[in-house]
Amino acid sequence: MPKTTLKRVHGYLAEFSGAGDIYHAAEKVRDAGFQRWDVHTPFPIHGLNEAMGVKRSILPWFVFFGGATGTITAFLLCYITQCIIYPTVVQAKPTNIFTTPAFFPIMFELTILLSAFTALFGSFALMGLPRFNHPLFAAKTFKKFSDDGFFLCIEARDPKFHQAETKAFLEGLGGRNIELVEDEL
Amino acid sequence: MSSHSITLDDLPRDGERLDLAKVSKLNGALLVVGIAGLAVSVLYLFGFLGAQKQAEFAYSWLFAFFFFFTLTNGGIFWTMLQHVSNSGWSVAVRRFFENLGANVKWMAVFALPFILIPGIRSALWEWIVEQQHAGSYEGLATAAKVNHHLAILVAKHGYLNITFWVVRAVFYFGFLIGIIGLLRKWSIQQDTDGDFKHTFRSRALCAFPMLIYALVVTFSAVDWVMALDYTWFSTMWGVYIFAGGAWGSMAFSIIALSYVRSQGYLKKTVSMEHYHVMGKFQLVFTIFWAYIAFSQFFLIWYANITEETRFYLLRNTGGWWWLSNALVWLHFVATFVILLSAGRKKTPNVMNWVCGWILLNHLVDIYWLIIPERAPSLTSGKIGEALGYHGEPLLWLSGAWVGDVAAFGGIGGICAWAYLRRLAKASLYPCKDPRLLESVSCTN
């Protein structure tokens, strides 16, 4: 395929010198009202969620209902097969609702299994994973984010994004090596 | 991390002292309840109300004693755990655990009737009656040839004999009083000298004795509660009691913390993050307790062996069935669902109600462990004969609940009163602990 020269602007990437700097920069970006932006740091920074104004994830609700589905599925599977379709008397135990303790291990396991699955795949879905590439990988300095670089990226799809003003804004926050990241189409 | 983060300069250098005058109303009320309860208890304990009432009250006393013993024990566990794991987050609230654990001195006093009053002792533990009746090990072995039920007591004689039983009780209290006494003493010494060595030696002290602590909790529960029926046994028993106690004591500590904060203390040192961490422990122990409780039930239910099923058969008969179900649906399911939410765990007002609920459920748990044994034990066997019962054992003795209330009020009132006074004796948090700042600014 011939390479096109068409490119789409992904956003501005700015580097900050440390955890404290990027924390305060995040607070200011939040207060400026940006929506589509993210912070990339080599290690988790306590309180950064609040500084970025990130809302609590909806994931716990997925996990709750995933787990509840597991409990109910396991119970029904056991109950229908052992008590209704083919009543199985084991050690003189009843074959009715009071057999439930025997189903507990399965209910327990399936609850955990489905909770774990919803937690894993739910977080993948919310993060937009898996994906083949990310525009930021094309940025010149971005590789440092997994070593000693603290990056803040304001994306072009943000309604408040402006080619000149956003750059000036990031410079005002103390951002260095500001780079316009472009995504090849 | 943020610009308004707390530094050590924001905290009072010598900590905060609870002013007893501020809480005198509550403290006075607790003392009155305690003394009134103890006064009534003394009438029961020494048999002034008759042998029948004394025997009934033995169970009341054990119930109240054991409830507060598990809470106290939990306080010791949480203190040791913070030291042994070198926890930074807990420094601001550690003194609540220390002071709760230090109540064990009082528990030793409240345990004296079990050893000193024969009427109380023999009403609770049939194995003591049988052994005293037989006179010696040989006598017991001879009696077992006629009454085959006694064979199990002959086999257990190496463990279940009065001398060893008393020696063990002394050791339990000696160990518990010693370890919490040292930890609390060093912690308070650090308040004045600020020496790091207290932190290190507390950690060193807790490492190996954690094992002894586990054994003490296990075997005290075996000696005093499991042995109510000497034929019954469960290897899950100790960890079951431990799980409930740690759960209840954390609930109590959260309530005490909220109460102290409502009086205007610890506003800077304790944050919602601490409530969140403690709430997480509550959730963990809700699950852990249920896991252990179910495992114990499950194995016995499945195996269906006569010696083992008696415990649950009794607790599934008559009105006790409702209480057994309350443990499943309220102690576990309801608490579990309530505690799932992080938001609720971070809201002190909600946590106070949840912790009250948890203490109530722990109370039901201990009641369910001890009180169902009362009527059948006192209306059958040698004790039943002495009290004039002949026929089928009863399931419920009417009027015995008065003693339960008196014993609970007596021991509980005195324990809570002593706890509040102890809180006021030193700073409300270890003000020179090297991890204090880490604790104050903890996030999770």
**Closest partner CB to A47 (pick from B2, B304, B342):** B2
Q: Label each residue of chain B as H, E or C.
A: CCCCCCCHHHCCCCCCECCHHHHHHHHHHHHHHHHHHHHHHHHHHCCCCCHHHHHHHHHHHHHHHHHHHHHHHHHHHHHHHHHHCCCCHHHHHHHHHHHHHCCHHHHHHHHHHHHHCHHHHHHHCHHHHHHHHHCCHHHHHHHHHHCHHHHHHHHCCCCCCHHHHHHHHHHHHHHHHHHHHHHHHHHHHHHHHCCCHHHHHHHHHHHCHHHHHHHHHHHHHHHHCHHHCCCCCCCCHHHHHHHHHHHHHHHHHHHHHHHHHHCCCCCCCCCHHHHHHHHHHHHHHHHHHHHHHHHHHHHHHHHCCHHHHHHHHHHCCCCHHHHHHHHHHHHHHHHHHHHCCHHHHCCHHHHHHHHHHHHHHHHHHHHHHHHHHHHHHHCCHHHHHHHCCCCCCCCCCCCCHHHHHHHHHHHHHHHHHHHHHHHCCCECCCCCCCCHHHHHCCCC
Question: Is B3's Cβ below 8 Å from some Cβ in A?
Answer: yes
Is residue B429 predicted with pLDDT exceeding 90?
A: yes
For the beta sheet containing A176-184, the strands, ordered from the edge strand earlier in sequence to the opposite edge, are A37-40, A150-155, A7-16, A176-184
pLDDT tens-digit profile of A137-159?
888 888 888 899 999 999 999 99
Q: B residues 325-344 near A, CB within 8 Å?
A: 340, 342
For residues B97-123, average pLDDT: 95
Q: Using the structure block, give the residue that is written with the tokens 């086999």.
A: B155
Question: Is B306's Cβ below 8 Å from some Cβ in A?
Answer: no
Nearest to B196 by CA among B436, B13, B427: B436
Amino acid at A82: Q
Which residue in chain A has the smallest CA separation from B442?
Answer: A46
Contact assignment for B2 to A104 by CB distance below 8 Å: no
Contact assignment for A101 to B2 by CB distance below 8 Å: no
Question: Is A55's Cβ below 8 Å from some Cβ in B?
Answer: no
pTM of the model: 0.92
Question: Is A28's Cβ below 8 Å from some Cβ in B?
Answer: no
Nearest to B436 by CA among B296, B273, B269: B269
pLDDT at A7: 84
pLDDT at A4: 63
pLDDT at B2: 44
pLDDT at B3: 42
Which residue in chain A has the smallest CA separation from B4?
Answer: A24
Contact assignment for B1 to A47 by CB distance below 8 Å: yes
Chain A residues in contact with B3 by the CB 8 A cut-off are 24
Contact assignment for B2 to A45 by CB distance below 8 Å: no
pLDDT at B4: 57
| CA A105/CA A92 separation, integer angstroms | 19
Under the phi-then-psi rule, with left for phi > 0, alpha for psi from -120 to 50, and beta for the rest, what region is A33?
Answer: left
Is residue A3 predicted with pLDDT exceeding 70?
A: no
**Closest partner CB to B298 (pick from A23, A47, A104):** A104
**Closest partner CB to A20 (pick from B1, B302, B342):** B1
Of B98 and A133, more confident: B98
Instruction: Give the closest-approach CA distance of B112 to chain A in angstroms.
Output: 41
Burial of B145 (0-12, 13-18, 19+ CB in 10 A): exposed
Is residue A1 predicted with pLDDT exceeding 80?
A: no
What value, to the nearest 5°, has the Cα angle with vertex B87 and ends B439 and A18?
55
Half-sphere exposure of A150 (CA within 13 A, CB side): 17
For residues B404-422, average pLDDT: 96
Q: Using the structure block, give the residue that is written with the tokens 């008590």.
A: A83
Nearest to A114 by CA among A56, A62, A51, A165: A62
**Percentage of chain B lying above the pLDDT 90 cut:** 86
List the structure tokens of B388: 């004039």
Question: Is A94's Cβ below 8 Å from some Cβ in B?
Answer: no
Instruction: Give the closest-approach CA distance of B385 to chain A in angstroms.
Output: 36
pLDDT tens-digit profile of B343-384?
999 999 999 999 999 999 999 999 999 999 999 999 988 889
pLDDT tens-digit profile of B120-178?
999 999 999 999 999 889 999 999 999 888 999 999 999 999 999 999 999 999 999 99
**What is each CA distance from B111 to A96, B38, B65, B69, in whole angstroms?**
45, 13, 7, 10
pLDDT at A88: 86
Contact indicator for B64, B404 with CB cutoff of 8 Å: yes
**Closest partner CB to B340 (pick from A19, A64, A102):** A64
Is residue A66 predicted with pLDDT exceeding 90?
A: yes
For residues B2-13, average pLDDT: 73
pLDDT tens-digit profile of B252-289?
999 999 999 999 999 989 999 999 999 999 999 999 99
Peptide bond into A130 cis (omega under 30): yes
Confidence of residue B441 (pLDDT cuts 50, 70, 90): confident
Confidence of residue B1 (pLDDT cuts 50, 70, 90): very low
Beta-bridge partner residues of A16: A150
pLDDT at A56: 87
**How many other CB atoms are there within 10 angstroms of residue B271's CB atom?**
18
For residues A50-57, average pLDDT: 89
